[in-house]
Amino acid sequence: MSRKIAFGGVFSALTIIMVYLGGSLPSGKLALYAISSIPAAFALVQSGPAAAVSVYAVSAFLSYILLGNISVVLPYVLFFGYYGLAKYYIERTQNAVLEIILKLVVFNTALSISYFVYTRLIAASIAFEAFIIPAIVIPVAGLLLQFGFLAYDYVFSRILALYQDRFKNQLL
């Protein structure tokens, strides 16, 4: 039991470091946020759904408390943090087409909420109106993001399979 708690702490610390780096480095932000989703998924593989929820909740809370900037923590909270858990439950359906549809629904819901939060709450406070975006850009970007998400999901699956095959039984 104490090893599981210790692993949860280590996974939470790694997540907080990735969220911090994602929010503070000038480039590679999206990659660092994507990497921040992996420790909670490792906790899921290692100790089950309750551990993954704990790592997600603790990481989100402590990231906000320690970093003090909600816009840095939002990508993790709105999508990356819980995606491993959502993926776990979606993939239990054992139907490849349904899995892809459900994953895209989760992604697009998170994308829509993120867009709303950033345009209505955060960007409104920093004169977002100064940026004029052509009408075609948003649908094209949305379509491209679908393919980017599917690539992220594939890489995420490969990393989890590698962890499960090589490390799961050796660590506990």
pLDDT one-digit tens code per residue, 3-45: 888 889 999 999 999 999 998 888 888 899 999 999 999 999 9
Q: Helix, strand or coil for residue 65?
A: helix
Q: Please state the pTM of the whole predicted model.
A: 0.85
When pLDDT is averaged across residues 148-157 and rounded to a whole number, the result is: 96
pLDDT at 117 over 60: yes
Higher pLDDT, 48 or 120: 48
pLDDT at 2 over 60: yes
Token pair, residue 45, equals: 């593989």
Would you state the pLDDT for residue 65? 95
pLDDT at 68 over 90: no
Higher pLDDT, 124 or 70: 70
**Structural domain that includes position 76:** 2-171
Structurally, the chain folds into a number of domains equal to 1
Secondary structure element (H or E) that encloses residue 123, with its range: none
Nearest to 87 by CA among 49, 115, 143, 141: 49
Would you state the pLDDT for residue 34? 93
Let me know if 161 is exposed, middle or buried by CB neighbors in 10 A (0-12, 13-18, 19+): exposed
Would you state the pLDDT for residue 23? 87
pLDDT one-digit tens code per residue, 134-150: 777 778 888 999 999 99
Report which DSSP code applies to 25. Answer: S
Tell me, what CATH number does 163's domain have? 1.10.1760
- Above pLDDT 70, what percent of the chain? 90
